Amino acid sequence: MFMQVNSQKLARRIKALREDTGKSLNIFCFENDINKATQSLIEAGRNTNPKLQVLLKIARGLNTSVAELLQDIY
């Protein structure tokens, strides 16, 4: 069974964690080899199906795990 990610909740979590690092969107994406447009769509809640590879990069950049990012957002 496939569970749909609550993209708004994920967006708020990722954006808040990134902002807690003190890094701008540009710097975060550059340092973690993430497409800025993709990250922007994720943080805006408009990417409802982010790829696992991107989530792994985001999680690494935020010093957390994908499991932590996705906890309680279904």
Domain limits, the chain: 7-70
Cβ count near 14 (within 10 Å):
23
Q: What is the pLDDT of residue 48?
A: 86
Spatial contact of 54 and 41, defined as CB atoms under 8 Å apart: no
pLDDT at 2 over 80: no
Q: What's the CATH code, domain 7-70?
A: 1.10.260.40
Instruction: Read off the pLDDT band of 3 (50, 70, 90).
Output: low
Tens of pLDDT, residue by residue over 17-71, are 999 999 999 999 999 999 999 999 999 999 988 999 999 999 999 999 999 999 9
Burial of 64 from C-beta contacts in 10 A (0-12 / 13-18 / 19+): middle
